[in-house]
Amino acid sequence: MCNLYSVTSSQTAIRQLARALSDLTGNLRPLPAVFPDALAPVIRTAPDGGRELVMMRWGFPPPMNAESSLVTNVRNPASHWWQPWLTAGHRCLVPVNSFCEWTDSRPKVTHWFAQDESRSLFFFAGIWRPWTGARGTKANAAVGDHLLFSFLTTAANAAVAPIHAKAMPVCLLTEADRDTWLTGSLDKALALQHPAPKAALRVVATGQTRDG
């Protein structure tokens, strides 16, 4: 389960790689540590069919009787809970430069994974939805309408499994995969829910809660 990642590329770099024509994020600063419930940039399909960069809050509301207060990772897209948000209009690209997994054994140690030492930009396969309610902390509550996102996970690949064997995010590493995720049929989109090749990721930092 990934509950920490970084996005440090500029908004121009994000827009260019995702081919987003519109940017609604304002002055986007680097985010070396994105935790659940934080605001982060997301690429979605705009009403006019183009792509837009917007800020959303990380974490869906959980199903009833769930143990967690937020659902940041989606492993089972066959669940009826996720079906409304897997349509093409509710799939999104989550920009990321690196992501963190903790070791399965104690003591828990953070390991940051990226494509290379330069932390090249790539994307997670995300979904988004509107939601109304209270988010944030008691000291800094945000009550009202929100745009929320989560992203899909899959089995850990050979690079991630020695650290965290259970799962890893679904990584969209090519333009073709990003296009399929945003606009392809549901079957073709869900066919992307597989581990990244071992050579696609490496550990770039260890033992810290911020990257970049």
The model's pLDDT over 183-212, given as tens digits with 9 standing for 90+, comes to 999 999 999 999 999 999 999 999 989 987
pLDDT at 36: 95
Tokens of 125: 């396969």
pLDDT at 192: 98
DSSP string of 80-126, one letter each residue: TTTGGG-SGGGEEEEEESEEEEE-SSSSP-EEEEESSTT---EEEEE
pLDDT digits (tens, 9 = 90+) for 19-66: 999 999 999 999 999 999 999 999 999 999 999 999 999 999 987 766
Find how far residue 7's CA is from the centre of its chain. Answer: 10
**pLDDT tens-digit readout, 89-138:** 999 999 999 999 999 888 889 999 999 999 999 999 999 999 998 887 77
Reduce the DSSP state of residue 182 to 3 states and report it.
Answer: helix
Full 3-state SS string of 9-42: CCHHHHHHHHCCCEECCCCCCCEEEECCCCEEEE
Say whether pTM exceeds 0.85: yes
Give the CATH fold of the 5-206 domain: hypothetical protein yedk fold (3.90.1680)
Helix (H) or strand (E) holding 179, with range, is: helix 175-183
Q: How far apart are CA 127 and CA 129, in angstroms?
A: 7
